[in-house]
């Protein structure tokens, strides 16, 4: 399936209501408003196609960029490719749910995520923390250094309240993910969540939202989700 055909298919799947929702979350034109679930049949037909993914991502069209992440072949991508994709990720649904997810399937994910966390840029930091969430929620605990993850929890505790909003949200999710999906540091994550307390996320023209990792960890424990790992990072 070629680039033009895929763009036509995506446009046909667009819904005005979905488009409005994406725009309210930070997307901007061009976009069609395609629900992520509606992309699955198209993705099944194409499977992985990095050349097509690159063409779609470079359009700047949100739906095309999202779909690029679904059909990308991360094992053919380099660190330079991910930096380029990150440069094009203009809001969190691209940085955290396209770039970070795709990065999490590479063998250099932690190296790049560490650079992004240290970058001082809101969306790069957000993508870096999010990438660790995707990794911890999918890979065996043995693939991580407990001392490194512990120092990252300390970093979150010390810096979360002074970080930019999207980074705050990803850091909060990191505490939760360590608490549920990385058993060696479950107790430390619970302590960190209590020490951090409520995290306020300001939203433009909307009421602020309050994130509470400790409550979410407890809810997941009550549902029997302790030790949860996803089979696949990407859908």
Q: Domain tally for the chain?
A: 1
Encode pLDDT of 154-167 as tens digits: 999 999 999 999 99
pLDDT classification of 235: cutoffs 50, 70, 90: low
Q: Is residue 86 part of a domain?
A: no
What mean pLDDT do residues 121-128 have? 98
Residue 211 domain flag: yes
Q: Which residues of 53-86 are buried (b: 16+ CB within 10 A; e: fewer)?
A: bbbbbebebbbbbbbbbbbbebeebeeebbeebb
- The pTM score is 0.96
Token reading at 26: 């930070």
Domain span at 175: 107-235
185 part of a folded domain: yes
Instruction: Evaluate whether residue 190 is within a structural domain.
Output: yes
Phi and psi dihedrals of 203, rounded to 5? Answer: -125, 140
Residue 59 lies in a domain: no
158 lies in a domain? Answer: yes
Q: Is residue 93 part of a domain?
A: no
Give the span between the Cα atoms of 57 and 63, in whole angstroms: 9
Rounded Cα distance between 104 and 234, Å, is 9
């Amino acid at each position: 399936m070629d680039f033009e055909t895929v763009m036509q298919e995506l446009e046909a799947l667009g819904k005005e209501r979905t488009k409005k929702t994406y725009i309210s979350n930070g997307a901007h034109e061009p976009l069609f408003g395609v629900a992520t679930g509606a992309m699955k049949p198209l993705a099944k037909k194409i499977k992985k196609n990095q050349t097509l993914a690159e063409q779609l991502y470079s359009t700047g069209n949100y739906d095309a960029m999202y779909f690029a992440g679904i059909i990308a072949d991360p094992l053919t991508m380099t660190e330079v490719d991910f930096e380029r994709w990150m440069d094009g990720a203009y809001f969190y649904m691209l940085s955290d749910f396209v770039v970070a997810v795709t990065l999490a399937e590479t063998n250099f994910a932690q190296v790049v995520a560490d650079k992004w966390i240290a970058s001082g840029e809101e969306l790069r930091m957000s993508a870096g923390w999010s990438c660790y969430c995707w990794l911890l929620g999918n890979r065996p605990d043995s693939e991580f250094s407990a001392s490194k993850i512990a120092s990252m929890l300390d970093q979150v505790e010390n810096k979360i309240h002074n970080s930019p909003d999207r980074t705050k949200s990803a850091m909060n999710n990191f505490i939760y993910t360590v608490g549920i999906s990385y058993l060696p540091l479950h107790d430390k994550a619970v302590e960190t969540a209590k020490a951090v307390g409520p995290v306020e996320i300001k939203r433009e023209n909307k009421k602020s939202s309050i994130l509470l990792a400790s409550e979410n960890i407890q809810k997941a424990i009550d549902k029997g989700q302790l030790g949860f790992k996803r089979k696949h990072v990407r859908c």
